Amino acid sequence: MADRYLNHIGGKWMPAGDGEWFENRNPADTNDLIGLFPKSSKADVDAAVQAASDAFDGWRLMPAPKRGELLYRLGEILAARKEEIARLMTREMGKILKETRGDVQEGIDTAFYAAGEGRRLFGDTVPVELPNKFGMSIRQPIGVCGLITPWNFPMAIATWKMFPALICGNTVILKPASDTPASAVKLVEAVLEAGVPAGVVNLVHGTGSGVGIPMVEHPDVRLISFTGSSAVGKDIATRCGPQLKRLSLELGGKNAQIVMADADLGLALEGALWGAFGTTGQRCTATSRLIIHKPIKEKFLKILVERARQIRIGSGLEETTEMGPLVNEGQLETVMKYVEIGKKEAKLLCGGNRLSAGAHRNGWFYEPTIFAEVAPRARIAQEEIFGPVLSVIDASDLEDAIRILNDTRYGLSSSIYTRDINAAFRAIRDIEAGITYVNGPTIGAEVQLPFGGVKDTGNGHREASHTVLDTFSEWKSVYVDYSGKLQKAQIDTVE
């Protein structure tokens, strides 16, 4: 009998109101049934919104330093359970243990970072133009926040959203991806053990249509924070627009790594392999394009292909595995479709095959795949694939490389390998992306710096860092006039 997991609404664990369930299976071994989860509907969303609304006043009135103490305790609980959560996460979404441990660690880091904001939440005090008058700005919570998270970073991204929302005094409803519901359960269990009051954090499992859309359209959900594809993000934006609902979108990417002729080629090679094939290419910051300065192209590609062929592919639960499976059959089919497109557009150097024999027979495995002679406007160089597929593009010089990198509708992460400090700073200035690495791969964000992108990668908000507080709080300007008389700003003058 499979384990049955539950929603958490208003302090109680409960099944979906209509009694339906969905399966969660290991993508490395589809015979491994992790559990059954509630297939929730609008009625469950309505119950969660009511619970979050009821809990809001009590939570917002708790002093922010006290909210921070609860988050610090939560971080300690996650740290104690890091290995347990990491192993479960690998079972349900496939990436290797080193990466799932890092995913949990990012949640721990976020807890401690957000806890510290409980004693800051900075506003401003500024001079005012009239005598005997005081001016300041303060942050206030927004209300009930709907958090819709993806499967590739089940702990990191959920905590990026949840913990800043909580420290600002909001209550939340978490709708995790249906590929990674068990990780969300572990997060909410830790939230409860830390002592967060009932109704402040609610968990509703289910599909985008069954749970996501009702949550987006609910009039009492004041804010939606979504991470996922640009197409879905645009649909959410059209649904939020009529209500003028606060919306934070972190969407797709078509990230590129530039390698100049003067680069440390060994370092650039390691960066390209990690950026392209870490998490099986299933990161919004994954290196999908490799832009190589022509003088080193042949030398670099020879070593790159040789190393890509040596990547050990298998179950992420095995410590020697370097790359796990794709998350589900649909993602595998997407990768296979784009590889067929790539074969018509470019030159296949390695990979291009599903692995389905032996240890790979029950999973969604695919070889690391590299295409060369890719035109900058080819489909495989323009469209997000979200798999272990790397497109190599030639560049004649730095300006050409930056032009190629910018020639996409996305703008999340970017990278340049060079020993020329002037070239590095020109790249920092001219690259159109929210993140630029110098002599590092396109992946590897840290919680104390803003995360997000430009163009079709989002709508201008940032996650992580102190900048995320602007998403989850409202600014209020406060004027205190202690003159005892009516004073008119911009009209009365100081004598």
CA distance 220 to 245: 10
* Cα–Cα–Cα angle for 428, 268, 100, rounded to 5 degrees: 90
**Computed from CA positions of residues 446, 448, 453, 454, in that sequence, does the dihedral angle turn out positive or negative?**
negative
User: Residue 370 phi/psi, 5° resolution?
Assistant: -130, 130
Give the DSSP letter string of 64-90: HHHHHHHHHHHHHHHHHTHHHHHHHHH
Catalytic residue among 217, 284, 322, 384, which? 284
CA distance 450 to 494: 42
Residue among 172, 192, 188, 174 nearest 52 (CA) = 172
| SS percent in the chain: helix, strand, coil, step 5 | 40, 25, 35
> Which residue(s) pair with 125 in the sheet?
136
CA distance 105 to 84: 12
Residue among 198, 156, 197, 199 nearest 177 (CA) = 156
CA distance 23 to 35: 6
Give the DSSP letter string of 156-217: HHHHHHHHHHHHTT-EEEEE--TTSHHHHHHHHHHHHHHTPPTTTEEE----IIIIIHHHHH
Burial class (CB in 10 A: 0-12, 13-18, 19+), 306: exposed
Catalytic residue among 250, 367, 384, 463, which? 250
Tokens of 459: 């709508």
Q: Indicate if 250 belongs to the active site.
A: yes
Using the structure block, give the residue that is written with the tokens 């690391």.
368
> Which residue(s) pair with 265 in the sheet?
none
Give, as one character, the DSSP assignment of residue 115. Answer: H
246 and 161 Cβ atoms separated by less than 8 Å? no
Burial class (CB in 10 A: 0-12, 13-18, 19+), 411: buried
CA distance 39 to 17: 9
CA distance 91 to 180: 9
Q: Indicate if 284 belongs to the active site.
A: yes
Which of the residues are catalytic?
250, 284
